[in-house]
Amino acid sequence: MAGVSRLQYANEMRLIRVMCSGRVDLEFILRAFSTGQDGVFIGGCKLNECNYVTHGNYDALGNTYIAKKILQRIGIHTERLRIEFMSSGDGMQLAGIMDGFSESVKTLGPLGSSEGLDRKTLTFKLDTARKLVPYIRLVERERLRVPSKSKAAYENFFTSDAFNRLFDELIGDSLTAGQITSILSERPRSTAEIAEKLQLNPSEVSRHMKRSSQHGLVRYDVDKSCYTLA
């Protein structure tokens, strides 16, 4: 049993079936939200009962933890994403879980409503995150892999301060930098304008601009007192 359900506010569900929940890429999750889905549900085989030696359901679990962290960073309620593990014979359990998830999403309302984000802002933030997926895949393989495949090991790692620090260092900063680059592609902006647009502290924007300048991505226009793409 594996798949991703994309739940709409009207309680209409569409199921995307895949061979293994391990094939549920981070891109699938973010794309579902970027197309306006109000919730995403991932169902996988019971942990340690995978039909494949790869135990791909652990990959799905890791991707879900990372996706929730990304959603939190861009201002989307993490309750809109859920993963559960069960066997193909757990039909009643699945029905109960889906009913509960549906009610939870309906309580939150349409995507963006309870978050205070309009459609344009949502699209901007999600598109920026999606562009980073290839980079995040590399980071996950090199720095965010859990050596032991057990539910406790995954929970301990992905809820730890160490993971939070790694996420901020490897992914969080890149998300912010990507958003800054995107809005500068529209037109040059001052530090204050960038901070207001992205709802960031000006000092945080200055830190990112300094790093981006060092990498040759942006430059400061002294005459216009603003940043522009290099």
Based on the fold, state whether residues 117 and 45 are members of the same structural domain. yes
Based on the fold, state whether residues 155 and 197 are members of the same structural domain. no
Based on the fold, state whether residues 107 and 36 are members of the same structural domain. yes
pLDDT tens-place string over residues 132-143: 999 999 999 999
Based on the fold, state whether residues 159 and 199 are members of the same structural domain. no
Q: Is residue 182 part of a domain?
A: no
Q: Is residue 149 part of a domain?
A: yes
Domains of the chain: total: 2
Q: Is residue 26 part of a domain?
A: yes
Q: Is residue 102 part of a domain?
A: yes
Range of the domain at 38: 3-169
pLDDT tens-place string over residues 181-227: 999 999 999 999 999 988 889 999 999 898 888 888 899 999 999 99
Based on the fold, state whether residues 56 and 129 are members of the same structural domain. yes
Based on the fold, state whether residues 132 and 195 are members of the same structural domain. no
Select from 138, 38, 44, 130 the least CA-distant residue to 86.
Answer: 44
Query: What is the SS3 string spanning 21-46?
Result: HHHCCHHHHHHHHHCCCCEEEEEECC
